[in-house]
């Protein structure tokens, strides 16, 4: 358990402090269609299949970015 | 003309951001089962609010085996339909926070579910970080086919948290944590089917079948990390890892990777996808439930299942998708068609009756924005 929390803390620290600040005008690539996740219908079908074939469930989706570009 | 008038009226009434409508048909087949899923989705912005709705219909046809030990003679052929509707309203009163309401219902001949919940999202750290929380609660009812009489009711609560952060000009990372709690009846338990029977073998080789039964409580926890990285304006890589654990001693690992590349003046998007999963069996799962026959009768295991998904799974799925975007016409700014094809290989090392299942998934759809 201790190792687990150390890993979480190390990850959070590196993410929080180690990332360069990206001004809004430099975020256009992050907002491009290739950076977006699957469409709602695609994601729904995949989740339905996975939910039927496996007991594992949850923590799906995500990966999108805050716009921050307005 | 009539369509243009409708579109004009729609746009006039709901002047806002970019709206979208999509429809598609997907197919799943694995040799035992064929599922055709037509679906539609629409999202409309009304000033600072987005209203979205989705509908999907599962048309299932295939064979179900009531007794795994006797696959051929116990298989029955069936055809069923399942309807699902999702509705959501998301409001963004400020540039840095928003909240939403959503509801969902699913209905099939022997099962109904209703769920609803709230969500909240906020941007912090100069909008480099997006925090999202979502809470859902729902009720599922297992019913008798034909007359709809309830057999058992199950209640669920679910909490999803996510932290999405801009890592660089080209990368975004996300951490997701999801917890769910199911409280179910004692007669079937959570996730069990009233139509599935479990074979019990005694010392003399005799066979007795009893209803499937699982624990009446299930707690689930999933933690995932995802990264999306754009190599340039035309190529991006998406990847993720998920760890899963539940109160039935099921552990699981899931990895997925997808590479997207734009061609033809960015009109054609090709995507290669892959997914691998490893899941351990549930604590009460047995490939064979051996029982001893005494004078008082047969002692039946309290929890028992014949579902291969409880047996532990190793799976690999690979596939590709192609989408082509056309110039808009009429009221639409963009119009895109897409197609997908995936091949999946599922292996059940502790389910000796049918240790493998290979699946095809394919589909096509159109999407328009205005």
Q: What is the mean pLDDT of residues B202-216?
A: 82
Residue B353: count other Cβ atoms within 10 Å of its Cβ: 17
Contact B230 A40 (CB under 8 A): no
Confidence of residue B175 (pLDDT cuts 50, 70, 90): very high
Contact A53 B180 (CB under 8 A): no
**What's the complex ipTM?**
0.86
Q: What is the mean pLDDT of residues B223-238?
A: 95
Contact A32 B41 (CB under 8 A): no
Cβ(B156)–Cβ(B177) below 8 Å: no
| Beta-carbon contacts below 8 Å between A and B | 176
Task: Flag whether residue B196 sits within 8 Å of chain A, measured between CB atoms.
Answer: no
Q: What is the pLDDT of residues B137-156, one digit of tens each?
A: 999 998 887 777 888 899 99
Buried residues in B13-23 as b, exposed as e (16+ CB within 10 A): eeeeeebbebb
CA angle, residues B231, B233, B238, in degrees to nearest 5: 50
Q: What is the pLDDT of residues B44-78, one digit of tens each?
A: 998 899 999 999 999 998 866 544 444 444 556 67
Q: Which residue of A has its CA nearest to B342?
A: A46
What is the reported pLDDT for A13?
67
Residue B258: count other Cβ atoms within 10 Å of its Cβ: 21
Closest CA to B345 of B274, B270, B281: B274
φ/ψ bin of B189: left (φ > 0), alpha (ψ from -120 to 50), beta (otherwise)? left
From first CA to last CA, the distance across chain B in angstroms is: 17
Name the residue among A19, A45, A50 with its Cβ closest to that of B26.
A45
Cβ(B156)–Cβ(B115) below 8 Å: yes
Closest CA to B20 of B281, B268, B332, B355: B332
What is the reported pLDDT for A1?
62
What is the reported pLDDT for B245?
97
Contact B164 A22 (CB under 8 A): no
Tell the residue number behind the tokens 């074939």, with chain if given: A53
Q: How far is A2 from chain B (nearest CA, A)?
A: 17
What is the reported pLDDT for A63?
45
To test the contact with chain B by mutation, choose from A19, A32, A34 the residue with the greatest count of B C-beta atoms within 10 A, namely A34
Q: Which of residues 289-308 of B touch A (CB under 8 A)?
A: none
Of A1-15, B68-82, B335-349, give the lowest mean pLDDT range: B68-82
What is the reported pLDDT for B64?
61
Name the residue among A35, A40, A56 with its Cβ closest to that of B277.
A56
To test the contact with chain B by mutation, choose from A62, A67, A68 the residue with the greatest count of B C-beta atoms within 10 A, namely A62
Task: Flag whether residue B265 sits within 8 Å of chain A, measured between CB atoms.
Answer: no
Q: Is B330 exposed, middle or buried (0-12, 13-18, 19+ CB in 10 A)?
A: exposed
Contact A33 B41 (CB under 8 A): no
Cα(B271)–Cα(B234) distance, integer angstroms: 12
Q: What is the mean pLDDT of residues A17-34?
A: 80
Chain A residues whose CB is inside 8 A of the B164 CB are 62-66
Task: Flag whether residue B236 sits within 8 Å of chain A, measured between CB atoms.
Answer: yes
Which structure tokens are listed for B363? 């589909």
């Amino acid at each position: 358990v201790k190792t687990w929390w150390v890993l979480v803390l190390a990850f959070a620290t590196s993410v929080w402090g180690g990332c360069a600040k990206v001004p809004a005008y430099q975020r256009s690539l992050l907002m491009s269609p290739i950076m977006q996740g699957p469409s709602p219908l695609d994601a729904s079908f995949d989740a339905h299949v996975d939910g039927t074939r496996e007991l594992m469930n949850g923590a799906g989706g995500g990966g999108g970015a805050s716009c921050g570009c307005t | 003309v009539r369509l243009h008038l409708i579109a004009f009226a729609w746009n006039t009434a709901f002047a806002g951001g970019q709206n979208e409508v999509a429809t598609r048909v997907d197919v799943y087949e694995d040799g035992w089962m064929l599922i055709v899923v037509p679906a539609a989705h629409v999202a409309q912005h009304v000033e600072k609010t987005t209203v979205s709705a989705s509908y999907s219909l599962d048309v299932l046809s295939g064979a179900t085996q009531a007794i795994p030990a006797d696959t051929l003679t116990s298989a029955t052929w069936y055809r069923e339909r399942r309807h699902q509707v999702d509705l959501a309203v998301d409001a963004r009163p400020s540039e840095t926070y928003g909240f939403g309401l959503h509801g969902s219902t699913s209905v099939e001949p022997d099962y109904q579910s209703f769920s609803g919940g709230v969500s909240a999202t906020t941007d912090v750290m100069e909008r480099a970080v997006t925090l999202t929380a979502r809470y859902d609660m729902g009720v599922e009812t297992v019913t008798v086919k034909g007359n709809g009489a309830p057999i058992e009711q199950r209640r669920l609560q679910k909490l999803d948290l996510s932290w999405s952060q801009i890592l660089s000009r080209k990368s975004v990372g996300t951490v997701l944590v999801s917890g769910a709690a199911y409280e179910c009846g004692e007669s079937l338990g959570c996730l069990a089917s009233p139509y599935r029977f479990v074979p019990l073998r005694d010392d003399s080789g005799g066979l007795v079948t009893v209803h499937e039964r699982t624990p009446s409580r299930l707690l689930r926890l999933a933690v995932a990390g995802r990264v999306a990285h754009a190599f340039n304006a035309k190529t991006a890589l998406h990847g993720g890892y998920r760890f899963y654990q539940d109160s039935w001693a099921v552990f699981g690992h899931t990895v997925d990777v997808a590479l997207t590349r734009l061609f033809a003046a960015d009109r054609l998007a090709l995507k290669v996808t892959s997914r691998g999963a490893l899941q351990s069996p549930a604590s009460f799962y047995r490939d064979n439930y051996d029982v001893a026959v005494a004078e008082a009768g047969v002692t039946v295991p309290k929890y028992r299942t014949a579902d291969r998904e409880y047996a532990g799974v190793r799976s690999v799925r690979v596939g590709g998708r192609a989408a082509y975007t056309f110039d808009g016409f009429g009221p639409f700014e963009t119009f895109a068609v897409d197609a997908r094809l995936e091949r999946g290989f599922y292996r059940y090392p502790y389910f000796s009756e049918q240790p493998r299942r290979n699946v095809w998934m394919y589909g096509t759809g159109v999407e328009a924005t205005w």
